[in-house]
Homo-oligomer: A and B are copies of this chain.
Amino acid sequence: MASDKVWTVEDAGVLLKRMGVYGAEDSLAGEEIGDGNLNYVFRLSGKESGRSVIIKKAVPFLRVVGDSWPLTEERASIEAQALEFQARVAPEHVPALYAYSPDDHAIVMEDLSRLKVMRGVLNEGRQFPKFAGHVAHFLAQTLFWSSDRSGHIEDKKRRAAEMTNPELCRITEALIFTDPFYNAQTNRIEGYLGEAVEALWRDSHVLERVFFLKDRFMTAGQALVHGDLHTGSIMVGAEETRVIDPEFAFYGPMGFDIGLLLANLFLNMLGHAARKTSKAHIEYLRRTAQTVWVQFAGEFAALWRETSYDGIFHTSEIERTYLRGVLRDARGYAGCEMIRRTIGLAQVSDLTLIEPEGSRRNAQEAALGAGRDLIKGYETNEDIDSVLAVVDRWMTDIERW
């Protein structure tokens, strides 16, 4: 099958039968459900079996750009390996992996139609009280057990080598850490933001910190990070939270996952503030961000103490300093994410859908400002309240505008 072939739901059905997911007699029907940025994603169900699945197939280029950005299909293998690892340590928070075909670069997994994409429901102002605890648990389990703190030192090094992900990391390096900080073609900057953006680009203090955050992203192999943990990568229901799409996974700084998630909560907060919707929703988001960190840190520390691999080095002072370092990184990465989601290639509906323009502008300016301030203070950040305080200052500004 030629690699530049357009994939149809019928092709997906043929593949699913070949992979043994459905019997030859089952009649399949379905639809394409992916956003089409990177992969083909279909949902199919079998009439006879009554079974419904998701199949995700990688193609050898960045689909959103076309074949001018070639991309090997290795990312399917990364995603399968990441899902498998995550399922070992946090099975209740990832889709079940049903089958993986390395030859077809195709992954078949649980259909999560019962759940909603987190970003969408947050835009609607809906609240999911269990979300924070769930995602904190997912983060603690996946980051702890893939880190050196778990004591699986040689395993970790071998897995890190297998899961080297240069092509997808390159996308992050460009779109999060480079392009938004100069006049790159990929940016999409609203005219009214021109002055604020120019000021950002002239701020050498910011650029310096972004360089070192990028350098850490590229060199600090702390743990198996999801690598793209925004609210569009999380499916939620009242009782259930599942993290999807770990194709950007690699061994990187733990704070990257936490920072991206916090940033997307903050962007939603600013969006709601600018639209002057519900104060209660903003308060829910704020509490969610705080709980994600506090519960993550608590659970990570508890696992560390139980496992006690670090022997003489496991003191409460070291534990505190280590986790403070993770939060510092998270703050810095949250800042980068807020900026790139406001002026970079891949923006978020939390901001772009705000009407009228004046409110959108308020939210975007606050996102740029908060992003900048998160970056600036990241290396000396003490606690989660200091992170929230930065966002709060910009919330106050929006409310005044």
Task: For A215, give its contact among B148, B157, B218 (CB under 8 Å).
Answer: B148
Min CB distance A136 to B, Å, is: 23
- In the complex formed, the residue of B with least CB distance to A315 is B204
A218/B313 in contact, CB under 8 A: no
A 156-191 to B, binary, CB cutoff 8 A, 1 in contact else 0 = 011011101111011001000010011000000000
A181/B312 in contact, CB under 8 A: yes
Q: Does A60 have its Cβ within 8 Å of any Cβ on chain B? A: no
What is A's interface to B at a CB cutoff of 8 Å? 148, 153-154, 157-158, 160-162, 164-167, 169-170, 173, 178, 181-182, 204, 207-208, 210-212, 214-215, 218-222, 310-313, 315, 317-318, 321-322
- In the complex formed, the residue of B with least CB distance to A147 is B219
Told that A157-B164, A207-B313 touch, could you supply 19 new A-B pairs with CB distance under 8 A?
Answer: A148-B215, A148-B219, A153-B170, A157-B165, A157-B169, A158-B164, A158-B166, A160-B161, A161-B161, A178-B312, A178-B313, A182-B312, A204-B315, A204-B317, A207-B312, A207-B315, A208-B315, A208-B317, A215-B322
Query: Given the complex of chains A and B, what is the CA–CA distance between A166 and B158 in angstroms?
Result: 8
A166/B181 in contact, CB under 8 A: no
- In the complex formed, the residue of B with least CB distance to A215 is B148
Neighbouring B residues of A207 by C-beta, 8 Å:
312-313, 315, 318
- In the complex formed, the residue of B with least CB distance to A148 is B218
Query: Given the complex of chains A and B, what is the CA–CA distance between A215 and B323 in angstroms?
Result: 13
Neighbouring B residues of A164 by C-beta, 8 Å:
157-158, 160-161
A154/B182 in contact, CB under 8 A: no
Query: Given the complex of chains A and B, what is the CA–CA distance between A162 and B157 in angstroms?
Result: 11
Neighbouring B residues of A153 by C-beta, 8 Å:
166, 170, 173, 218
Neighbouring B residues of A204 by C-beta, 8 Å:
315, 317
Query: Given the complex of chains A and B, what is the CA–CA distance between A220 and B212 in angstroms?
Result: 13
Neighbouring B residues of A169 by C-beta, 8 Å:
157
Question: Among A154, A182, A212, A313, which residue has the most Cβ atoms of chain B within 10 A?
Answer: A313
Given A148-B219, A219-B220: A318 and B166 within 8 A (CB)?
no
A208/B318 in contact, CB under 8 A: yes
Min CB distance A155 to B, Å, is: 9
Neighbouring B residues of A219 by C-beta, 8 Å:
148, 220-222
B321/A208 in contact, CB under 8 A: yes
Min CB distance A373 to B, Å, is: 20
Neighbouring B residues of A322 by C-beta, 8 Å:
215
A167/B154 in contact, CB under 8 A: yes
Neighbouring B residues of A321 by C-beta, 8 Å:
208, 212
Question: Among A158, A207, A318, A321, which residue has the most Cβ atoms of chain B within 10 A?
Answer: A318
The 6 closest A-B pairs by CB, nearest first: A161-B161, A154-B166, A157-B166, A161-B164, A211-B313, A182-B312
Min CB distance A280 to B, Å, is: 41
Min CB distance A304 to B, Å, is: 12
- In the complex formed, the residue of B with least CB distance to A162 is B161
Min CB distance A29 to B, Å, is: 41
